[in-house]
Amino acid sequence: MHSKPLIRLSQVNEVKKLLRRARLNTVCEESRCPNISECFGNRTATFMILGDRCTRGCTFCNVKRKHPLPVDESEPYRVLEAVRALGLRYVVITSVTRDDLPDGGAEHFARCIRVLKENLENVKVEVLIPDFRGRREALETVLEAGPDVLNHNVETVPRLYPRVRIGAKYERSLKILEWSKEIAPGIPTKSALILGFGERIEEVIDVLRDLRRVGCDFLTVGQYYAPSLKHHPVVKYYSEEEFKEIENIAYSLGFRFVACGPNVRSSYRALEGYILGGGT
């Protein structure tokens, strides 16, 4: 049995201080990710742009639902500052959902990608985007900036969307991934599922088939942990064996890289997935 590397508290605190100095949010902190100590201990983080207030109300998510603040035009450069300080060669950028913005924040995503690419040699950038309310032109804006991976999460099975993903639509999320392949076929696409909301295994397999149908390359599957009693309850805890079974099914369907496990999250070991999935 392999032991995990020792996480130094000083490294975790150093990353937290750096992020506070740069006035940056991370999905790691906002979502109470179970891997935060490991990732911060390894000087990695998933940057959450466009503020910390979401216009949607997903019942599993711990991000605040409030009226958002104006877009901070200096944010791409503060992300650059943090990436330099952390010495990252693979950067993951996500955001809250900004339905209040005409383009859903697409141009801001694009600016972050361009600033990093123009100022850092050989940096790879993965973006985990919202659905932009199904605006194809917003997706085109992001892809034209040249991310190395386009990630958009379906999160759960379609039957549970009305209870779990308030304001989202399953077919719309699939369209984002399908359009990405049409617009930029050379950019790998990625998605994620969270298990434990009451889905059936047959429904999970159907989602995997749908994702492959639209050309999705990378997949992550993890266990839902309720952030509080106010959030959607955990209906089922999956075993390691059940996660392994889902991983095997996913590979048999043709995914290039699959990560399944209780603590797996969308951006967990993203560089590893990119390399093993055929990225260069």
How do residues 166-182 score in pLDDT, each as one tens digit? 899 999 999 999 999 99
pLDDT digits 0-9 by tens, 217-226 = 999 999 999 9
Instruction: Dump pLDDT digits (tens) for 179-208.
Output: 999 999 999 999 999 999 999 999 999 999
Better-scored residue on pLDDT, 256 or 15: 256
User: Structure pTM?
Assistant: 0.89
Mean per-residue pLDDT of the chain: 87
So what's the pLDDT on residue 271? 79
pLDDT-derived band at 6, boundaries 50, 70, 90: very low
Query: Which residue, 214, 225, 207, is CA-closest to 157?
Result: 207
For residue 274, pLDDT over 90 is answered with: no
**Higher pLDDT residue, 135 or 46?**
135
Average pLDDT over residues 37-54: 71
pLDDT confidence tier of residue 57, bands split at 50, 70 and 90: confident
pLDDT over 60 at 28, yes or no = no
What domains can be seen in the chain, in order of their start residue? 9-276 (3.20.20.70)
Query: What pLDDT score does 255 carry?
Result: 97
* Token pair recorded at residue 179: 């359009």
